[in-house]
Amino acid sequence: MGVAENRFRVGIIKFINMKGNNYLFKVAKVFLLGVALLAGHQRADAQIITINTGTPASDLYAVGPIYISTTMFYKYSRFAYLYTQAELAAAGITSGSTISAVGWMKGGSSSSAGPSNFKIYMKNSSATAYALSSETWANLSSGASLVYQNASQSFPATASPNYIPFTLNTPFVYSGGAIEILTEWDASATPTPLATGSFEWVNTSVPDRIYGGANTTAPTSLSSTSNNTSIDDRRPVIQFTLGTVTGCTSPVTPGTATSSASAPVCPNTSINLNLSGNSTGTGITYEWERSATNTAGSYTSMGASQTTAGTTAQPATSTWYRCKVVCSGGTPAYSTPVQVQVASVTVNLGNDTTICEGRGPLVLNAGNAGSTYLWDNGTATQTRSVSAAGTYSVLVTNTSGCQGRDTIVVGLTPLASGSFMATETSGGMVTFQATASNAATYFWQFGANNATATGNPTSFAYGSNGTYNVTLNLINGCGDTTKVNKAVTVSGVVSIKPILKDAAVYVFPNPAKNMLMIDNEGGLVIEQIRILDLLGKVLQEEPGKGTQKNYQVNLKQLSSGIYFLDIRTPSGHVLRQFSVQ
């Protein structure tokens, strides 16, 4: 390599079992040729390192970093690769090394014009193996930094085999331990056919170093078996470009904040933030800030400063993001902000409520016109009419795929129902007793002289015998009335009889003390004897004994005062006043 060796340092580490293997020997030969050609274009401090631990295996599309088979059916793929500390050390990658580019070796001359969205993530790790049969993308990507993204990625034809290099947007600093590299490919916007043929990647056999998956949507779980093809011991050959980055100078150029969200996202969706057009160099720190309004003084920090530009966020509402960039403790500079719009879905069915039976249904409206709806009973309309008590819920999905949900508890106040009994006690007095459900108020109409009353039980004194149409109005909590009618017959009303002023009936002693004597000298037929107070209240009564001449009435329960003696006969009443000492 002569002159080229004086212009850059190149390390090629550990081509395993090359001797006697024509295939890998060809790979090595092409690789060495590539290194020689690249030498004239690398910085004087650049170093290219290849890791191809294991034994050579046949080229395979299913190992990534992107998945394009002969059918070209899948437009999404995700892969995760583990490079252990031992592998990195053997390759000469030491703690503090800065990785500025990575590349994977592709066999064949197939190409893809794109555009597709291709991302590379990297993280320092303590992992020693990918020993599970599968792992979630969320777990694998947790803590990883987005170091490369191209939303208009194309993949050129290559001389077979050769590397496709990717210069990182944000160089990655290795801090020791293992390195995990993740790739994410989205070709949903790429016209068909996706490529001129399948992408067959050069790989080696090394156990527990890969997870992958491809599908018609971005796979959320990666496996050691990719689409019925075992990739557990197949990892593509990778090339690292190491380089010493010069120190930063102040003032720095903060650049422009960029977001992986090109359209409104759903609440709490994870998005990647990065910078473009910014200064690079050692000594630069990055601290991301957010604001709801993008006004002065409204930005707050998202966390501690870091040495890489990229970060992630999960906005719940539309948010502005900017990055504070500092060179070696100098004056901060702030990037041009970027707004991430959140297409939130607010669903409000209203407060829990109670409806009244018989007044018509309650109309529930999920709002968000133009969205799709799924109610708890499977209906798919924006509104729903309900007439029964229950718990009702709806899931709303807007045109951006974002979802919102709400639930309402509806109670029901039913109409009152019931019946009543009417019992005549004496002298036309009738007691009414209702048995009812859901009645808040009892309103009685007695059918005589427009007389009414409220409450339960109640009573009414009819003035004459006969049949009366009594109505009980049962009123529920909504104010709605249920009428209960019944014909009530009254037969105990007694006609008022005259006072017999000249009757030969005498009482003594007067005043009395414990006993009052009655002398029925006129021989009246006595039906009843009553003692009344001055207000006419009956204090005691006892039956008469016909024409019996003498009666004794016990007064011991009476206090001192003036009273009336009411003697009831078939022809009228005899009233006598007396006093008790």
Instruction: Find the mean pLDDT for residues 204-217.
Output: 92
pTM equals 0.42
* Model confidence band, residue 228 (pLDDT cutoffs 50, 70, 90): low
Work out the pLDDT band at 317, boundaries 50, 70, 90: very high
| Residues 286, 291, 296, 300, CA torsion sign | negative
The one-letter amino acid code at 233 reads D
Would you state the pLDDT for residue 160?
58
Q: How confident is the model at residue 496 (pLDDT cuts 50, 70, 90)?
A: low
d(CA 330, CA 318): 31
More confident residue, 250 or 10: 250
> Is 174 a residue whose pLDDT tops 90?
yes
The reply to whether 256-340 and 505-580 are identical in fold is yes
End-to-end CA distance of the chain: 147
Quote the distance between the C-alpha of residue 221 and its chain's center: 24
Of the pLDDT bands very low, low, confident and very high (cuts 50, 70, 90), residue 262 is: confident
Q: Please determine, for residue 8, whether its predicted confidence score (pLDDT) is greater than 70.
A: no
Contacts 24+ apart (CB under 8 A), 460-466: 460/429, 460/430, 460/432, 461/427, 461/428, 461/429, 461/430, 462/428, 462/429, 462/430, 462/490, 462/493, 463/428, 463/493, 464/428, 464/490, 464/493, 465/428, 465/490, 465/491, 465/492, 465/493, 466/490
* pLDDT confidence band for 226 (50 / 70 / 90): low
* pLDDT score of 227 more than 70: no
Question: What is the average per-residue pLDDT within 383-402?
Answer: 95
In the CATH scheme, what architecture does the domain 256-340 have? Sandwich (2.60)
Determine the average pLDDT of the residues in 314-342: 95
505-580 homologous superfamily: Macroglobulin (MG2) domain (2.60.40.1930)
CATH of domain 417-490: 2.60.40.10
Over 70: is that where the pLDDT of 347 sits?
yes
Please check whether residue 284 is in contact with residue 308, taking contact to mean a CB–CB distance below 8 angstroms.
Answer: no
Q: Residue 159: what pLDDT?
A: 58
What is the pLDDT confidence band of residue 437, given thresholds at 50, 70 and 90? very high
The mean per-residue pLDDT over the stretch 176-199 comes to: 93
Tokens describing residue 303: 């966390």
Q: Quick one: pLDDT band at residue 375, thresholds 50, 70, 90?
A: very high
**Residue 168 and residue 172: Cα distance in Å, rounded?**
8
According to the model, what pLDDT value does residue 407 have?
Answer: 98
Residues 199, 160 contacting (CB under 8 angstroms): no
pLDDT, position 427: 78
Average pLDDT, rounded, for the chain: 87
In this prediction, residues 290-305 reach a mean pLDDT of 95
% of the chain with per-residue pLDDT over 90 = 63
**Residue-level pLDDT at 310:** 76
Q: Which 3 state secondary structure label does DSSP give 547?
A: coil
Where in the chain are the domains? 3-243, 256-340, 353-413, 417-490, 505-580
**Closest Cα partner for 327 from 244, 246, 251, 245?**
251
Residues contacting 457, CB < 8 A, separation 6+: 431, 432, 433, 434
Please report the sign of the dihedral spanned by the C-alpha atoms of residue 305, residue 310, residue 314, residue 315.
positive
More confident residue, 230 or 216: 216
The DSSP element (H or E) to which 355 belongs, if any, is strand 353-356
pLDDT at 67 over 80: yes
Task: Report which secondary-structure segment, H or E, holds 421.
Answer: strand 417-424
- Pair 39, 10: CB distance under 8 Å: yes
Q: Can you tell me the distance from the alpha carbon of 393 to that of 381, in angstroms, rounded to the nearest whole number?
A: 12
Strand partners, 122: 145, 181
245: pLDDT strictly greater than 70: no
Measure the CA–CA gap between 100 and 165, rounded to whole angstroms.
Answer: 11
pLDDT of 425 reads 87
